[in-house]
Amino acid sequence: MATETKTPPSDGVDQKPARARIIDAAFVAFGVRGYAQTSMLEIATRAKVSKRELYALVGNKHDMLVACITERTGRMRPTAEMPEPSDRESLAAVLSAFGERLLCEVSDPVVLGVFRLAIAEAERAPEIAQALDSIGRAAARKELAAILEHAQSHSLLGGDTAEMTERFLALLWGDLMMKLLLCLAEPPVAEEVRRRARDAVSGFLRLQPTRS
């Protein structure tokens, strides 16, 4: 009687598409060894693909860096059309929704990992910070600026859009981002997220008058 051959259990890694494995492997390797010290061979080995497949599916090391940042900070981008505010009350609701989403998305441990990588490699690989800024942070600021510009066009706010954008984000974050990056605080829970967003909006609207 033939003996049945059992297939060893899979750890789930090989079940992912090759491109996803490559990006995951690159992110881990960059975090462990640093961007400059990570070799293409190491990424290919971690991803269980050939170097030829690695180049064909993702590209060179910089392409992998951009892919890592794009996929892990993509949640910082606008995900849906925000309702257009028609009065200060609806503006407060829109800004609160934006603030809550941004706090949740940026506080995600994976996104924080990308920020820490950019800080650690700031001198040796400034392109990491540049890619993070253009792919993630700039998109969030652009979305917020669009909300504020619409409010200005309806005389709900007066002032410079760029200054208002920075003011609102400063009120929203305070020193939370620094504490998160230094592992001195845990990502905020839902109740804290709502409170921070609500307080930021309240303080912002008190400081920011309507257009006269």
Q: Specify the pLDDT at position 80.
A: 56
- The rounded average pLDDT for each run of 10 residues, N- to C-terminus, in the chain (212 residues) is 43 74 90 86 94 93 84 62 84 95 89 85 81 82 92 92 96 96 95 97 93 68
pLDDT (0 to 100) of residue 99: 95
| pLDDT of 75 | 59
- pLDDT score at 6: 44
* Fold of domain 73-207: Tetracycline Repressor; domain 2 (1.10.357)
- Beta-carbon-side half-sphere exposure of residue 102 (alpha carbons within 13 Å): 27
Q: Which CATH class for the 18-59 domain?
A: mainly alpha
Domain ranges across the chain: 18-59, 73-207
Residue 54 Cα to chain centre, angstroms:
25
Instruction: State the pLDDT at residue 14.
Output: 61
pLDDT value, residue 210: 83
For the residues of the chain, what is the DSSP string, one character each?
-PPPPPPPPP-SSTTS-HHHHHHHHHHHHHHHH-TTT--HHHHHHHHT--HHHHHHHT-SHHHHHHHHHHHHHGGGS--SPPPPP-SHHHHHHHHHHHHHHHHHHHTSHHHHHHHHHHHHTTTT-HHHHHHHIIIIIHHHHHHHHHHHHHHHHTTS--S-HHHHHHHHHHHHHTTHHHHHHTTSSPPPPHHHHHHHHHHHHHHHHHHSPPP-
CB contact at 8 A, 64 and 26: yes
Give pLDDT, residue 74: 65
